[in-house]
Each structure stands twice: as structure tokens, then as C-alpha cells.
């Protein structure tokens, strides 16, 4: 796909996977719009990207976990006269622990950010991409999307939504110049597990695995609806979809459900 001179908006660009997406789009010649709450981290990244790659790197500091976040972001883009060619809905977080002990307000924010804003931004930006017959929407789900996860019940459910929704929209844009892709990373070395207050099961893959898999899929002639990052994760996802639900849920619970 063509990146030179295009504009890529990355949500959750202040750390982790989003930060590296921003750098990679810039390396390929795209101007980038960096969105997240931590303005200092975004400003620092913006300066570094402009210096290293000679592209424009704009910052929009914004909380995306409210019901009006989509409108607010679209208003900020209109004010800056930005046309977004590539949207990466990467901002997200997880909550962990037994569901009955979870903080209800935090769970609401998790659902709004991981599902609501992702859907709204897709809705807001897809029509213009279709009109231009060019664009891409990359939505970040997770290997947690392949099975219910006791101990991360809401997080896994939000990511199952992302994969289902994004794959359906992929089905709607076939035959157009717009690419739609779900990316399902496994446990990756970012701030994610600290924020969630959970322990990863097994090792953490480097962020570059997520970035490389994404660009391979975007650059292929037939971009699939959904990719799983890492061969072993791909095998686990395939097994989860075939085993009886009872076994899959019990196994996931053994990995993530706190003992008390």
C-alpha cells in the first residue's frame, strides 16, 4: 500500500505498540497524527519523528474513553484541516481480576475506549476513505478475542467485539481501495500488563513482531480480515476455536483467574 505523503492517525501513540506504529508510518513517509492523553510523551515523540523522518507529526491530546470522544476528535481534526488516510485504533486497556470485584466506572471506560470510540472513529472516517477509494483502518484486538477469559472477562469480550466488528467491515469494503484489518497480538512487552494489574502468562514478544505482521498484511494484495501475531499464538487461537467452550474457558481461567 502507498504510505508516502499520506496521513496516518494513531490512537494510543504515547507508549507501546502505538508509539512504534507512529514511527513506522513516518519511516514510510506518512505524516502522523498522534492521539492519547499523555501530552508530554506525545510532544516528545512528535519532535523525534519530525527530526528523524522529515514528516509532519501533529499531537492531539485527548481522553478517548468518554461517549463524546469521537465527536471531539473529529472536531479537532476538522479544525486542523486534517484528512486521515489511515486510521489505527490502537488505544486500549484491560482490567483484571474477578469480575464481581472490578471497579464499575473503570469497566465502563474500558468498554467505551476499546469498543465505543473504536467503532465511532471507524464510522466517522470510513465514508471519506471510500469516497477517495483509498485508505486503511487497522483495529487492534488481541489473542484474548479468541476465547472468554475468566480473570479478564470484560477485556476479552471487548476484543472479541473488535475482531468480529472489524472482520465484518472488512467484508463490506471488498472491491474498494480501502483496507480493513484486525490485528491480534499476544502478550507483548509494553505497559499493558502494568496498567491492567495482571501478570502475563509466558514470555512477552517484542513490539516489532506486531508492527512487522501488520505491515506485511497491509502490503499484501489480499489483506485478510484478521491476523494473529506469532505462529504459536496463531496455533492457540485455532485450537481455542475448535475445542469445547467448557475446556477453553477452564484453561483460560487457570492462566488468568486470581486464586482469591
Candidate list 2, 40, 52, 191; residue touching ligand NAP; CB under 6 A: 191
Q: Where are the alpha helices (DSSP H) in the chain?
A: 16-27, 39-53, 69-79, 104-111, 118-132, 153-173, 192-196, 207-219, 231-242, 245-256
Closest CA to 45 of 27, 54, 58: 58
- In this structure, what DSSP letter does residue 5 have? T
Q: What is the DSSP string of 214-233?
A: HHHHHHSSS--SEEESSHHH
Cβ-proximal residues to 55 (8 Å cutoff; 6+ apart), any chain: 26, 29, 30, 31, 32, 49
Instruction: Confirm if 188 and 209 have CB atoms less than 8 A apart.
Output: yes
Binding to ligand NAP by residue 37, rule CB under 6 A? Answer: yes
* Residue closer to ligand NAP, measured from CB, 31 or 65: 65
- CA of residue 42 relative to chain centroid, distance: 17
Catalytic residue numbers, as ranges: 155
Query: Which of positions 147-166 make contact with ligand NAP (CB under 6 A)?
Result: none
Q: How far is the CB of 239 from ligand NAP (least distance, A)?
A: 18
Candidate list 74, 195, 218, 255; residue touching ligand NAP; CB under 6 A: 195
Instruction: Confirm if 37 and 14 have CB atoms less than 8 A apart.
Output: yes
* Residue closer to ligand NAP, measured from CB, 5 or 80: 80
Binding to ligand NAP by residue 12, rule CB under 6 A? Answer: yes
Q: Which span sits near ligand NAP by CB under 6 A: 63-71, 119-127, 211-219, 243-251?
A: 63-71
Query: Which of positions 196-215 make contact with ligand NAP (CB under 6 A)?
Result: none
Q: Which span sits near ligand NAP by CB under 6 A: 16-24, 95-103, 166-174, 236-244?
A: 16-24
Interacting residues with ligand NAP (CB under 6 A):
12-18, 36-38, 63-65, 90-94, 113, 140, 142, 185, 187-188, 190-192, 195
Amino acid at each position: 500500500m502507498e504510505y508516502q505523503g499520506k496521513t496516518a492517525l494513531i490512537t494510543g501513540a504515547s507508549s507501546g505498540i502505538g508509539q512504534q506504529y507512529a514511527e513506522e508510518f513516518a519511516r514510510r513517509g506518512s505524516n502522523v497524527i498522534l492521539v492519547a492523553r499523555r501530552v508530554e510523551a506525545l510532544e516528545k515523540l512528535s519532535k523525534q519523528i519530525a527530526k528523524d523522518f522529515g514528516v509532519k507529526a501533529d499531537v492531539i491530546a485527548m481522553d478517548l474513553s468518554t461517549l463524546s470522544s469521537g465527536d471531539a476528535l473529529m472536531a479537532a481534526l476538522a479544525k486542523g484541516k486534517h484528512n486521515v488516510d489511515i486510521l489505527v485504533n490502537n488505544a486500549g486497556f484491560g482490567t483484571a481480576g474477578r469480575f464481581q470485584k472490578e471497579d464499575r466506572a473503570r469497566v465502563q471506560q474500558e468498554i467505551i475506549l476499546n469498543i465505543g470510540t473504536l467503532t465511532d472513529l471507524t464510522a466517522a472516517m470510513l465514508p471519506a476513505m471510500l469516497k477517495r477509494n483509498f485508505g486503511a483502518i487497522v483495529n487492534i484486538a488481541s489473542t484474548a478475542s479468541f476465547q472468554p477469559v475468566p480473570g479478564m472477562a470484560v477485556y476479552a469480550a471487548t476484543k472479541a467485539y473488535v475482531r468480529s466488528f472489524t472482520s465484518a467491515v472488512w467484508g463490506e469494503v471488498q472491491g474498494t481501495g480501502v483496507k480493513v484489518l484486525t490485528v491480534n497480538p499476544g502478550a507483548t512487552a509494553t505497559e499493558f500488563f502494568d496498567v491492567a494489574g495482571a501478570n502475563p502468562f509466558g514470555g512477552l514478544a517484542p513490539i516489532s513482531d506486531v508492527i512487522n505482521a501488520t505491515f506485511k498484511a497491509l502490503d499484501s494484495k489480499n489483506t485478510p480480515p484478521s491476523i494473529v501475531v506469532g505462529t504459536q499464538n496463531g496455533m492457540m487461537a485455532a485450537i481455542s476455536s475448535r475445542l469445547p467452550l467448557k475446556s477453553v474457558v477452564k484453561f483460560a481461567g487457570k492462566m488468568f483467574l486470581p486464586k482469591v
